[in-house]
């Protein structure tokens, strides 16, 4: 895989369009977590230092394409950027097709790309218009690199020069480190609601990791192979496939007890039960104490850790013990740990362990697809652009 790196180019005085991943949680106009913004800053700051004319584009949430919705506007991010880059001029543009010229060392932030018709379907006309905004296109949104869309893929196909930003390079480097000769034992922790979306990654992980721990709704589908798990979240149509995977791989670890409740509520009290004792009116919402002890011991003995997703309803105080225990065990492990996924980032923030994780990926789907061994469209585009414009 050979792609251009931003620092290989002369960008002084050039119009540089950077596709960032500024898809951060915003509530009532206030940014709840700035992790992805902070991860984007090295590339932006470098472009400013080199006196480039910096144009930033990103998506935010999932608005209906072509329709403006205030709650999905990048204006709160613009206000955040004004505080960070108080030493330079920074502008906001509501309409990408009518932008004002900026000077070297200044920033222009474009409105949410998903307000533009054709973004999601990688419309050629839109992609070409994006490319006409710049001299150099910089792909730095790893979290969206698995999407073949106008702002992540199409724009690079029409740009004379396309390169990777520092975040994208860092993501690729660290994910390769996990996949190539990892220090063993290696454990992977995979949480989330649906096993149907995780079979590919689980099939990959059981072959490269010494242990694979599953939690959340994913684990429930495995438990449902042998037990009636009440009204717990699981996918009955995938029990057969889950059974095959579990039977074939003795390194796939599932819970031996669970925290259950009768109501999906923040105030619900937790009861620890083994799977065979779960009643019809109860649902699994977290690991039980024996499971926590078992899995924490596995993590303690590991030298390489991959973590994607919480293992329970960590938003509820009585059902976050499993996720908290797993998170802190990872944080206290002196080996190499890599974590990725939106909910994972929220857990890291909640338990203040950011500085104790070796590498935090900004990707969710892209993180998993890269580990699966899939060729991400944005990386493929960068490879092709280099070949054409070498």
Residue 336's closest CA among 205, 179, 144, 223?
Answer: 179
One of 340, 342, 363, 364 is an active-site residue; which one?
Answer: 342
Task: Provide the token pair at 53.
Answer: 């004319």
Q: Mark whether 183 is an active-site residue.
A: no
DSSP per-residue codes, 317-386:
GGG-HHHHHHHHHHHH--SEEEE-SHHHHHHHHHTT-GGGSSEE-S-SHHHHHHHHT---HHHHHHHHHH
One of 177, 294, 365, 374 is an active-site residue; which one?
Answer: 365
Residue whose pair of structure tokens reads 């060392």 in the numeric block? 105
Task: Provide the token pair at 388.
Answer: 């054409």
Residue 168's closest CA among 347, 380, 384?
Answer: 380
284: CB partners within 8 A, 6+ apart: 219, 220, 223, 229, 230, 232, 233, 255, 258, 259, 260, 278
Task: Provide the token pair at 297.
Answer: 């011991």
CA 62 to each of CA 72, 120, 161: distance values in angstroms, whole numbers, following the listed order: 8, 10, 29
Per DSSP, 32 falls in state S
Q: Does an H or E element contain 15, and which?
A: strand 15-19
d(CA 208, CA 210): 7
CB atoms within 10 A of CB 351: 16
Q: Mark whether 36 is an active-site residue.
A: yes
Q: Mark whether 363 is an active-site residue.
A: no
One of 194, 231, 328, 374 is an active-site residue; which one?
Answer: 194
Task: Provide the token pair at 248.
Answer: 């074939």
β-pairing, 136-139 with 15-19? parallel
One of 14, 15, 36, 129 is an active-site residue; which one?
Answer: 36
Q: Mark whether 45 is an active-site residue.
A: no
Instruction: Check: CB of residue 288 under 8 Å from CB of residue 272.
Output: yes
Residue 60's closest CA among 158, 159, 151?
Answer: 151
d(CA 296, CA 329): 6
Q: List, by residue number, the catalytic residues.
A: 36, 194, 342, 365
């Amino acid at each position: 895989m050979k792609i251009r790196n931003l620092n290989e180019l002369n960008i002084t005085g050039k119009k540089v369009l950077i596709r960032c991943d500024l898809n951060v949680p915003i509530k009532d106009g206030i940014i709840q977590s700035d992790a992805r913004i902070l991860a984007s800053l090295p590339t932006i700051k470098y472009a400013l230092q080199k006196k480039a004319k910096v144009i930033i584009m990103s998506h935010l949430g999932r608005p209906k394409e072509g329709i403006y919705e205030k709650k999905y506007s990048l204006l709160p991010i613009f206000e955040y950027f004004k505080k960070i880059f108080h030493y330079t001029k920074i502008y906001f543009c509501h309409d990408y097709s009518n932008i004002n010229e900026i000077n070297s060392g200044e920033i222009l932030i474009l409105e949410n790309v998903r307000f533009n018709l054709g973004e999601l379907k990688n419309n050629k006309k839109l992609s070409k218009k994006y490319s006409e905004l710049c001299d150099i296109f910089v792909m730095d949104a790893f979290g969206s690199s698995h999407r073949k869309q106008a702002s992540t893929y199409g724009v690079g196909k029409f740009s004379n020069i396309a390169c990777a930003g520092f975040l994208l390079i860092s993501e690729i480097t660290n994910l390769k480190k996990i996949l190539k000769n990892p220090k063993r034992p290696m454990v992977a922790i995979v949480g989330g609601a649906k096993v149907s979306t995780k079979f590919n990654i689980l099939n990959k992980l059981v072959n490269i990791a010494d242990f694979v721990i599953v939690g959340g709704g994913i684990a429930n589908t495995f438990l449902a192979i042998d037990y009636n798990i009440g009204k717990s979240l699981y996918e009955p149509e995938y029990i057969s496939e889950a059974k095959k995977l579990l039977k074939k791989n003795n390194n796939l670890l599932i819970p031996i007890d669970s925290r259950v409740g009768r109501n999906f509520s923040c105030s619900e009290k937790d009861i620890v039960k083994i799977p065979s004792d779960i009643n019809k009116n109860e649902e699994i919402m977290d690991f039980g104490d024996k499971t926590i002890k078992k899995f924490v011991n596995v993590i303690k003995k590991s030298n390489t850790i991959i973590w994607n997703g919480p293992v329970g309803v960590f938003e509820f105080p009585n059902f976050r013990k499993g996720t908290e225990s797993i998170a802190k065990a990872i944080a206290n492990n002196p080996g190499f740990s890599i974590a990725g996924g939106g909910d994972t980032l929220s857990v890291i923030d909640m338990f203040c362990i950011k500085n104790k994780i070796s590498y935090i990926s900004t990707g969710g789907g892209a993180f998993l697809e890269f580990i699966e061994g899939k060729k991400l469209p944005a990386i493929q585009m960068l490879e092709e652009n280099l070949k054409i414009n070498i």
